[in-house]
Amino acid sequence: MKEVQVYSGGRLARGEAYVVGEFPLVLRVNDREIVTLIASPHDLRFLVAGFLRVQGFVSSVDDFLMLSVCNDYGIANVRVRGELPAELKPILTSGCGTGITFTLPGTGNPGKLAPEQERAAPVPPAAVFALMEQLARKAEKYSRHGGVHSAAVGDSDGDLLLHAEDIGRHNTFDRLAGEALLKGVELAGKLLVTSGRVSAEMAAKAAALGIPLIASRTSPTDMAIRICKDAGITLIGYLRGARFNVYAHPEMLLIEP
């Protein structure tokens, strides 16, 4: 809690309010500083591992030779097998606070979508609603001050498996990818729900992870819709109450006659 001045009824009075934590983390990979990530200060190992995973720099736990995060100095030192590309061209994305990626489909960069998603069975809408309801219950920080985004992955039975919160909605995807990698949780075929807007880099990350369905409480961008259509991902937006909009691949929803 932080002390603030609250204006009400024409007067200022002393009060307290929750303030979102913001933490700059310098990421060094193979003795090379590649980016500074602006994120929430918790569970930074998941964030680092997931960021490197969705960029295509690692694909398994065995690819990490060292993964060390020093919160006191705001530095993550990582050593991975193989070398990074000689030139990394950062792309500033539409993520909160401006996200960053080195690969993005449809921009002439080396990013590549996963093959069209394959599913054993269509997804029942009830599972999507159940996951979003569980996400809302877990998002305590978001409900307190509205400054934190949340995301989660679950299965087609509506069981939530992993949950992440961060000041950046793009960071929540990276955190989920990193936690799943370090804990040995398979993401291919899982469903992803998020509190924030679905933009292009988030759709691309989901495609690379083999996620066949994304659902958001708010809207997707036109580029995210195009990526999801190309990748075979069902894209849902404005999931509120008992309704939602489907922007891509509605045929993969199990609709009772």
Give the residue among 138, 143, 232, 147 at the shortest CA–CA distance from 176.
Answer: 138
Judged on CB neighbours under 10 Å (0-12, 13-18, 19+), 87 is exposed
Q: Give phi and psi for 23, each to the nearest 5.
A: -135, 120
What separation in angstroms does the CA of 194 have from each of 10, 103, 131?
Answer: 38, 22, 10
Q: Which of 35, 49, 96, 208 is catalytic?
A: 96
Q: Do residues 162 and 173 make contact, with C-beta atoms less than 8 angstroms apart? A: no
Single-letter code of the amino acid located at 157: D
CA 116, CA 211: separation in Å to the nearest integer? 10
Q: Do residues 137 and 128 make contact, with C-beta atoms less than 8 angstroms apart? A: no
Neighbours of 159 (CB within 10 A): 12
Listed in sequence order, the residues at least 6 apart from 163 whose beta carbon sits closer than 8 Å to its beta carbon are 135, 138, 150, 151, 152
Show the beta-strand stretches assigned E in 9-159: 11-17, 23-29, 32-39, 64-70, 75-80, 91-92, 100-101, 149-154
> Is 228 assigned a catalytic role?
no
* Tokens encoding 5: 């001045």
Angle at 50 between CA 152 and CA 18, to 5 degrees: 55
- Catalytically active residues are 96
